[in-house]
Amino acid sequence: MNILSSALGYVMAFCYKLISNYGIAIILFTLISKIVLLPVSIWVQKNSIKMVKMQPEINRIKTRHFGDKDAIADEQSKLFKKEKYNPLASLIPLAIQIILLLGLVAVIYHPLDYLLHLPKDLINAFNGLIIAATGADPESSSIQLAVVESIKMELMKDSSLPCSHSLLMLILQQLLIQ
């Protein structure tokens, strides 16, 4: 999942640098993923159309072999092969979308890792600051979001962080501007 998250992080970082708004960058990322998945979606739609066209024949097979599940399964299998229909094809885009969603969630909850590509020791320092300043749960998956939110508050001069942490905040502000 880390490899996928890293790749998606670069795409999301590109979207963020292009737009400079995290929410709109997510929307742009979604549009890009839909465009990339378009050929698979078209293939699934064609497969669905085949199923609709085969449905009357499947109903005839079911009435012809009523009660004989093995014969129905054999006849359906022959029909699927003849029409080149794959009943599991509709699961492929669903699986791809779930994998993309899991990777995207990792990118969203870890922006310092995947969007800014900061070193681990700096990320740990920022996480420590947030934990010390706000009492946040260190096991929380959204601790990096709290770091980003604190930076936004510092930029708006409404920070709840102690003044002794201003140097680290200035460093992160410079990284965010790049």
Which of 43-47, 73-77, 96-100, 162-166 is the least confident region? 162-166
Residues 6+ apart with CB under 8 A from 89: 43, 44, 47
Residue 80 is predicted with a pLDDT of 92
Q: Is the pLDDT assigned to residue 162 strictly greater than 60?
A: no
Which 8-state DSSP code applies to residue 68? -
Distances (CA, A) of 11 to 1, 26, 42, 52, 161: 15, 10, 23, 37, 31
Terminal alpha carbon distance of the chain: 27
Residue 175 is predicted with a pLDDT of 59
Q: Which position has the higher pLDDT, 59 or 156?
A: 59
Residue 26 is predicted with a pLDDT of 86
- Residue-wise pLDDT for 70-124, tens only, equals 999 999 999 999 988 888 877 887 888 888 888 888 888 888 888 878 888 888 8
Q: Is the pLDDT assigned to residue 151 strictly greater than 80?
A: no
Q: Is the pLDDT assigned to residue 133 strictly greater than 90?
A: no
